[in-house]
Amino acid sequence: MDGAHDMGGVPWSDPVQPEPDEPMFHAEWERRAFAITLAMAMPGGWNIDMSRFAREDRPPEDYLQKSYYQIWLAGLERLLLQRGLVEPDEIAAAKSLHPAKPVARTLTRDGVAAMLHRGGPTERDAKHPALFRAGERVRARNIHPPTHTRLPQYVRGHVGIVERVLGCHVFPDSNASGNGENPQWLYTVKFEGHELWGNEGDPNLQVSVDAWEPYLERA
Amino acid sequence: MTDHHRRDHHHDHEDHSELSETELRVRALETILTEKGYIDPAALDLLIETYETKVGPRNGARVVARAWTDPAFRARLLQDATPAIAELGYAGRQGEHIVALENTPRLHNMVVCTLCSCYPWPVLGLPPVWYKSAPYRSKAVKDPRGVLSDFGFELPNGTDIRVWDSTAEIRYLVVPMRPAGTEGWSEERLADLVTRDSMIGTGLPKRPGEAA
């Protein structure tokens, strides 16, 4: 979806502000929000693409007004409510009021290390050969799906070069919508700075994105 | 927009009403989910402890120092980083598919996630606030030299700059250039020079005299 999360190249007046000796978390609630989010994916049964969409799918002013972990919290609440794992009256009451729904698995303390080590690899066996080869010119399609996508707006319509073929990977546009993994070939596509930003930009700049085959057409 | 960004940095001592509302909401959620048996607070504690104390940029620094001292490892790292990094015991969530990027005198690499906050957790830990912030996500792909200047450094004129936007599940680790004057240094000593920002591409390694 087009949204405020898609920030590449958007004008911004503030400088980047590094924070010396930055703590990992800035408040206790951030620790808990982070950990609850990681732990709930197992009983919740959602995937990372669904989580990302639940975070980004909100009005721009809401996305921009919330801090990073407030967005995580809002995304988590949405997933819980959508699946009926929590009801709105329970959030209002700050306690469980209804019986738990049966869930397949939960994350125990003993299972944490294995879960983190396993991660979520996304590469899958290919069912057909890759359409593009390294060195080929491709154009990022000018698409604006209302659903989840990982093709940033600043490359849409622009021509780049396939630099690497990265294998066949779970396609977020399908996976986020519950339509299955639908694996697609993934490529690193490199764009010249002037192609993206015009001739006034940095003459020594190249930018790449990792783009799935359905995002690309031959140029 | 500016307020939002400022809040990212200071929300623990600004804007108390909103903070306490968020805090109460998180507590409520943890209570509800625990009562329902969906989560185990002890597992949450361990998740937090893992990222606060075990997984961080020290891991990546060891990878880079190994690449600086062991040419065969460097070759494996640049060829296929995920198994090379696993040799040092680092693997897993948000590092399932890692690509290592070599800085040279001609080319400087910088990593961003314009769409969210993708970052190679097993080698760098969780991302800092600035990495997740709007100014970095917007500016890195258009004016990376401006970003470097926000960090207080400049690349020589004519150095090519390559920005990698982490839009898929590939995670990028920059291998900075080994500082001059470190000939004969041990891997462990070299690792002290490797800063987190030098592995994102927004900084350089420390010079020999700067090591803690």
Closest CA to B187 of B88, B103, B101: B88
At A148, which amino acid appears?
A: H
* Alpha-carbon gap: A126 to the closest alpha carbon of chain B (Å): 17
Binary contact (B32, A94; C-beta < 8 A):
yes
The CATH architecture that domain B56-210 belongs to is: Alpha-Beta Complex (3.90)
Domains of chain A: 28-118 (1.10.472.20), 123-218 (2.30.30.50)
pLDDT in tens, B144-162: 999 999 999 999 888 999 9
Check if B196 contacts A (Cβ < 8 Å).
Answer: no
pLDDT in tens, B157-201: 889 999 999 999 999 999 999 999 999 999 999 999 999 999 999
Binary contact (B115, A68; C-beta < 8 A):
no
Q: What DSSP string runs through A181-216?
A: ---EEEEEEEEEHHHHH-TTS-TTEEEEEEEEGGGE
Place of tokens 């994916």: A41
Residue B183: which residues within 8 A CB-CB, separation 6 or more? none
Residue A169 is inside which H or E element, if any?
strand A159-169
What pLDDT does residue B20 have? 86
Average pLDDT rounded to a whole number, residues B134-138: 98
Contact B15, B3 (CB under 8 A): no
Check if A33 contacts B (Cβ < 8 Å).
Answer: yes
Candidates B2, B30, B93; nearest CB to A32: B30
What gap in Å lies between CA B169 and CA B206, rounded to an integer? 30
Average pLDDT rounded to a whole number, residues A99-126: 97
Check if B22 contacts A (Cβ < 8 Å).
Answer: yes
What gap in Å lies between CA B7 and CA B15, rounded to an integer? 8
Domain ranges of chain B: 2-39, 56-210
Which positions of B are annotated as active-site residues?
113, 116-118
Candidates B40, B139, B165; nearest CB to A107: B40
Binary contact (B130, A18; C-beta < 8 A):
yes
Give the mutation candidate from A14, A83, A98, A168 for the B interface (greatest B CB count, under 10 A): A14
pLDDT in tens, A53-102: 999 999 999 999 999 999 999 999 999 999 999 999 999 999 999 999 99
pLDDT in tens, B43-68: 999 999 999 999 999 999 999 999 99
Residue B87: which residues within 8 A CB-CB, separation 6 or more? B73, B76
Considering only CA atoms, give the Rg of chain B. Answer: 19
Check if A21 contacts B (Cβ < 8 Å).
Answer: no
Average pLDDT rounded to a whole number, residues B89-108: 98
Candidates A7, A202, A211; nearest CB to B145: A202
